[in-house]
Amino acid sequence: MPRAAAAPRPSPRKKTPREAAAPGPRTLAIDIGGTGIKALVLGPDGKPLTERQRVDTPKPATPRAVMRALAKLIKPLGAFERVSVGFPGVVEDGVTKTAHNLHKSWEGFHLAQALTKQTDRPVRVLNDAGVQGFGVIDGRGVEMVLTLGTGMGTALYVDGKYVPNLELAHHPFRGGKTYEEYVGSAALTRVGKKKWNKRVQHVLEQIQPIWNPRKIYLGGGNSKLIDLPLPKNAKITENVAGLLGGFALWKDEPPPR
């Protein structure tokens, strides 16, 4: 299993007035993507305490390289008591099983354990679309999240409960292509914005009669390029939801005494 390089822990900085007035655990929320890695700190109420920080995803995006990038990314964010991570692939018990848009060496990498060692804080890791959904869902009925970025992320919820590791992106769709090959960033670059929007429309039309979602949330970096009449049950969400949803990963924690 690949080993993460040792990296400096975040250095303390002076708390802002809002941080000082917010008792309770602060959550470092991290969103690892194929193009960029983002992070910010959430307060005990789940609202941002810091500005979002971003670095480019290293190439090649091996665990060692990403761990180094994370150390640089979180250094200016200050203190936190726990960490939530959205990862672009299948995750089981903090171990990454797939990472189609990063590097094959992520297979079997214990990301939660490596980041716990690096930050000296407890860490929880979930598929990135799953984290994003927790930032936007209502918690009623069947809800679905599609993230359009380097690839295509998918998350499904039933009455607010997450169905883990639904990798619709790699299922065959049209013309021998998977969903991800059909609407991922490479396809957008190749066919252009107008044709890509038609493809997104085809994806939405295909999803509706199969999953019958009450709501569909469209996120990811390329969602801002959507320019088509959306179905009544679909809406575009802010990309920052991929960080805000990290708060929900700790909802089962008892409140501080």
Beta partners for residue 142, in sequence order: 158
Residues composing the chain? 257
- Strand 123-127 and strand 82-87: the pairing is parallel
d(CA 225, CA 179): 17
209: tokens are 């009669």
Q: What angle do CA 48, 53, 59 make, to 5 degrees?
A: 140
Predicted confidence at residue 54, as pLDDT, reads 96
Largest CA-CA distance found in the chain, in angstroms, rounded: 58
Neighbours of 186 (CB within 10 A): 13
Predicted confidence at residue 255, as pLDDT, reads 55
Q: Which residues contact 87 (CB under 8 A, 6 or more apart)?
A: 32, 96, 99, 111, 125, 126, 127, 128
Q: Which fold has domain 17-131+242-250?
A: Nucleotidyltransferase; domain 5 (3.30.420)
Predicted confidence at residue 237, as pLDDT, reads 95
Average pLDDT, the chain: 91
Residue 9 exposed, middle or buried by CB count within 10 Å (0-12, 13-18, 19+):
middle
4: tokens are 């993460």
Q: Domain 138-236 belongs to what architecture?
A: 2-Layer Sandwich (3.30)
Beta partners for residue 250, in sequence order: none
In the chain, which residues fall in CATH 3.30.420.40?
Answer: 17-131+242-250, 138-236
Q: Is the bond into 60 cis (omega within 30 degrees of 0)?
A: yes
Predicted confidence at residue 6, as pLDDT, reads 45
| Ranges of the chain whose pLDDT falls below 50 | 1-8, 10-13, 17, 19, 21, 257
pTM: 0.88
